[in-house]
Structures are given as C-alpha cells and as structure tokens.
Amino acid sequence: MSAAQNTSVPGLVLCADDYALHPLVDAAVQQLARAGRLSATSCMSTAPGWREAAPALRELRPELSVGLHFNLTEGHGGACTAQGLGEVLRAAYLRRLPRRRLQAAWRAQLDAFEYVMGTPPDFIDGHQHVHQLPGVREALLAELRSRYAAHELPWVRSTRPAGGLWRAPKAAVIALLGGLRATRLLAAAGVPMNRGFGGVYGFDAPDVAGYRTHMQHWLAQMRAGALLMCHPATAPVPGDAIGAQRAVEFAYLASPTFGEDLRAAGLQVHQGPLRC
C-alpha cells in the first residue's frame, strides 16, 4: 500500500465495514478479530452507539487496524446531505453537494472518531463508497491536508478492482462511479492507498456455500496488500437491508473452511500495523 499503489504488506487485508452500526455487527468484528480472521474494521462515528462500542476496539489494536467509515447516507448523525444513496449520487454528479457542509461532515466525523479512540484513524473509507464521489473526495483531500502532516496521513480505500475482478459488473460500476478518479486524485497528492479491491457482490448469497463461492473467486484475484471488504454480524440485523446476509458472511469467516480457502489461495490475513 502506497500512494503509488506499491506495497510489501505480507498478506490479505480483510476489512469488516460498519462497526458501531449495530451490536450484532460489533460482536462479529470483535470475535473475528480475536480469532485472527480480520485485519481491520471501519467505524461509523455518526452511529448512536459509537461511543459505547468504540472502547472494545482499543484492546484489539494494533493487531486490528481501525478506521473511519465516512457516512452520508444513513439517517443517523445528521450526516449533512440526503437520505439514501441514490439522492447523494445525483447531488454529487450534479455538483450540488455543498462544499462547506461536506468539509464540516469530514471534520465532525473525524473529530468524533479521534475523541473516542484517542488517535487518528489508521485509514479512511466510505459507507457505500461515498468517499470517492465528486466533491466528497476533494473535501476529503482538503481535510487530510489541513489536519495531518505528510507522515501522519491515514491510508484511504481505493475501489479499483483487483486483477480480473474488473469483469464483475457491480465492481466495475463502483470503480467507474468515482473510484478511479479518486484513486488518481489521492495518488497524485501522495495519499497512501490499498493495492486492489475485492468483496463486491449483490449481497445475494443464500447460504455459506454461496458466499464461499464468491470468496474463492475473490481470493484467486488477490495479491499481498490487496483489500477485501466484508460485512459480518453474529445474527441477522433487524431492519437492515443486508441484515440476513451479514450472518451468512460471519458464519463463513468464522469457520475452518475460510482458513482452508486462504491456504489454497496462498494467502494469509494480515494482522498488525499497516504501513501503506
């Protein structure tokens, strides 16, 4: 991981998104981290439960990297713009996201993270990848420059697909909806990023075997330093659009089968500080 997309991180970076969204998500992250099945988790500092959920992460560092999951689309936290991804996408591409409000959102969410964790985030990404959208990415870069010295910069998630994952339509759409532009912008500014991205699917695996099929495909395209996202929870999350799928992901990631699939792909889950 580096600004030039060049890394020596010795393993797969597996990141669980949405920490603090729900206690079932938090429990899954904590259990998987203790079992050595996660590299990182990204946290929703706008979530009502953030302050209560955050302290459990302190004892998991530095083996577990902890980052900010920037939010514009969940209703909690007064995030600054709209409810729903579609509306945020339209506003971003019509250049109707107010720059000052975006800047304020970045500042507030980073402040909330740092207040509770006592440190800057190890990395930054976006809920539903909003960090890469027009206007949002420029506001991110401005906040990074004003907030951190060059040697203190958190790394930022690039959604540029790893290897042959370009052929998956949803992964390609995410990359084309700002991922490539954001990667170029941040790389030119010297911001470190991951090298390749995976874990994108339609949240449509009906059971562990179905999710395993997706995972085996992703692992075949991963190389050291690539980032794979996941969304586990220890049980279905009520009222969440992907609530049932979260439990399927957790069951697989906690199983011996995941370890077997990692070994078959010649990979291990990286643990410890990430020097991107």
HEC assignment per residue over 85-111: HHHHHHHHHCCCCCHHHHHHHHHHHHH
Residue 63 CB partners (closer than 8 Å, separation 6+): 33, 271, 272
Give the CATH number, domain containing residue 64: 3.20.20.370
Residue 4 lies in a domain: no
Please, how many CA atoms are within 13 Å of residue 60, restricted to the half-sphere of its CB?
Answer: 26
Residue 201 lies in a domain: yes
Residue 112 lies in a domain: yes
Average pLDDT in the chain: 90
Q: What percent of the chain has pLDDT over 90?
A: 73
pLDDT at 166: 83
Residue 162 lies in a domain: yes
pLDDT band at 138 (very low <50, low <70, confident <90, very high): very high
Q: What percent of the chain has pLDDT over 70?
A: 93
pLDDT at 29: 98
pLDDT band at 142 (very low <50, low <70, confident <90, very high): very high
pLDDT at 228: 96
Residue 5 lies in a domain: no
According to DSSP, the β-strands at 227-230 and 13-19 are parallel
Say how far apart CA 80 and CA 100 lie, in whole Å: 10
Residue 143 lies in a domain: yes
Say how far apart CA 134 and CA 257 lie, in whole Å: 40
Residue 179 lies in a domain: yes
Summarised one tens digit per residue, pLDDT across range 169-222 is: 899 989 988 899 999 999 999 999 998 999 999 999 999 999 999 999 999 998
Is the entire prediction scored with pTM above 0.75?
yes
pLDDT band at 37 (very low <50, low <70, confident <90, very high): very high
Q: Is residue 246 predicted with pLDDT exceeding 80?
A: yes
Q: Is residue 8 predicted with pLDDT exceeding 50?
A: no
Higher-pLDDT residue of 266, 9 = 266
Question: Which backbone phi and psi does 221 adopt, to 5 degrees?
Answer: -100, -10
Q: How many CB atoms lie within 10 A of CB 118?
A: 9
pLDDT at 3: 38
Q: Is residue 78 predicted with pLDDT exceeding 80?
A: no
CB 71 within 8 A of CB 109: yes
Provide mean pLDDT across the span 123-149.
96
Residue 272 lies in a domain: no
Range of the domain at 113: 13-264
